[in-house]
Structure 1
C-alpha cells in the first residue's frame, strides 16, 4: 500500500485521505496527534479505513462535531460486534450507531428515561445482538459513568442486527418485531393468560412467528399440513385456533400479510403449549 497523506483532519483519531482520487476516512488512536495536512500517516497507527459512498459528508460532520469519547465508544462496540458475529457490518453502522448513541447519552444526562416497548422480543429474537448491547452498556458505564437501561441495550442490538450484511432494513425489522409484540398482546387479551416471557414455549412461539412473517413477506412456501391434521387441530384446540385467526386478521388489516390456515394451525399448537404452562 502506498503511503497515505492527510487530506483533512476530523479529530485526533480520524482523518480524510485521498486515495486514487477518492476520499477515504482513516481511523486510529491518536492518528492526527501533532499532524497537519499532507503529513504521512504512520501505517502502524491505522486501525480502520472506509469509503462512505453516499453519506461521506454526514460521517465527516459527525466525526468533527461529536464528543470524541462517543465516537470511540461507538467504534469499540462495532469492532466487538464484528468479532462476536464473526462477520463485517455494513459501513452505514458507523453513522447510525454513533449518531444514535450520542443522542441517547445526551438524553440520559438530561434525566430523560429511555424506553423500548420491544425489549422482550429483541432479547429473544436477536439474542447475540442483545448480548452485544449489554456489553456496550458495561463499556458506557466504565467510560462515562452513565448507567444506560436494558431498553437502550436493546436499541443498540437492533442497530447491530440491521447492519448485518444480509439483514432487513431497520424499518422492516421494527415493523416485524412490532407485529410480533401485537400478536402476543392479542393472545394475552383473547385467552386471558399470563405469559412467562422467559419460558422456552414463549421463545419458540416468537421464533416461529418471526420465520412465518419472513416467509410470507418473501412469498415463500409455508408449512403445509394435511386436511385431516388441520381439522383435528381446529377441533381439539378450537380456542387456540380462533386466537390464531384473530392474530391473522390483525396482520392482514394492519400490515397486509395473509396467513394461510396451515400456518395458523402451527401457531395454535404453540399457543396451546403456552397455555399448558
Structure 2
C-alpha cells in the first residue's frame, strides 16, 4: 500500500486498488512521505468508511490530539473484546470526537454533567463497566480524572455502536423514561428514593425488563384476577400512582403498559411507601 495522505504520526490514507482506506498503526507515518510504502506488519487497523464518514474521520485524525485518538481507539478495542462483538465503524468517529471534546473541557476546568447517569448505569451495565475501564485508562495515560457522568456518556456511545442495537436517540429516550418515572413517583408519593437502595434497584430492573418486552413484542407476565383486585384495594395509593404514570408514558412515549404490569409496578411502589 502506498501513502496518499498523512493524517498524523499514527494514521495515513492509502489507495488500495479502487478504494481509499484509512490505515492506522503506532508510528506508521514516522519519517514517511506521500507515495511511500506502508509495510503490512505495521498496520493495526484498516477503515473503509462510506458516504462522508471517511472525510469526517480524516479531519478528526488530522486535527485532534494524537493521545486523545489513541485513547479512543484503546477504549473501542477493549469494548469489542469485552462484548465479544465488533462495533459499528462509526464509533471511531463518534467516540473519538466526543472523548476529545470532553477531555479538553475537563483540562480547562469545565464540568461534565449527565442527569441520566444512574439510568444508563442500570440499563447498559456492560457498557458502563467499559466506561469505568476507560476512566482508569485515561487517568493512567494522561492523568485526567473523568467523572462518572462522563463514564455514562462513554457507555452510551458504546451501546449505540453495538450491531443491531438501539440508536442514540432511542437509548437516550429509554433512559429518560426511567428518569421521568422516578421523578413522578417521588412527586406524587411525596418521597425521595435513595438510588443506592435495593428497592430502587428492583424497581428500575423491573421497568427495564418491561420496556424490553414492549420493544420485542413479548407477552407480559399474567396475574391472578383475585390478586389484581387485592392490589387495587389494599394498595390503592400505589396502584393509582402507577396507573397515572403509565397513562403519562403512553401519551408521551407510546409506552403501553397493560393493567397487570401496572399492578406489578404497584407492588414496588408499595415497598417505597412502607419504607
TM-score normalized by the length of structure 1 = 0.92
Q: Which residue of 1 aligns with 2:12?
A: 15
- Is contact 1:93-1:163 (8 Å) kept? yes
Q: Which residue of 1 aligns with 2:129?
A: 131
- Is contact 1:217-1:257 (8 Å) kept? no
Aligned positions, number:
274
The yes-or-no answer on 1:194 pairing with 2:192 is yes
CA distance, structure 2, for counterparts of residue 129 and residue 274 of structure 1: 29
Q: Helix, strand or coil: the match of 2:6?
A: strand
Q: Which residue of 2 aligns with 1:53?
A: 50
> Where do 5+ consecutive residues of structure 2 fail to align?
none
What value does the CA root-mean-square deviation take over the aligned residues?
1.8
CA distance, structure 2, for counterparts of residue 26 and residue 110 of structure 1: 32
The yes-or-no answer on 1:235 pairing with 2:233 is yes
**Against the structure 1 CA distance between its residues 87 and 237, is the aligned structure 2 distance closer, same or farther, given a 3 Å change threshold?**
same
CA distance, structure 1, for counterparts of residue 16 and residue 184 of structure 2: 56
CA distance, structure 2, for counterparts of residue 200 and residue 242 of structure 1: 23
Q: Helix, strand or coil: the match of 1:15?
A: strand
Deviation per residue, 1:169-209 (Å, 9 max, x gap): 01000011011001011111222233232233322321221
Superposition pairs for residues 1-277 of structure 1, below 5 Å?
A: 4-54=1-51, 55-277=53-275
Deviation per residue, 1:88-126 (Å, 9 max, x gap): 111111000001011111212222111110111122222
CA distance, structure 1, for counterparts of residue 122 and residue 274 of structure 2: 21
CA distance, structure 2, for counterparts of residue 44 and residue 272 of structure 1: 63
Q: Helix, strand or coil: the match of 1:132?
A: helix
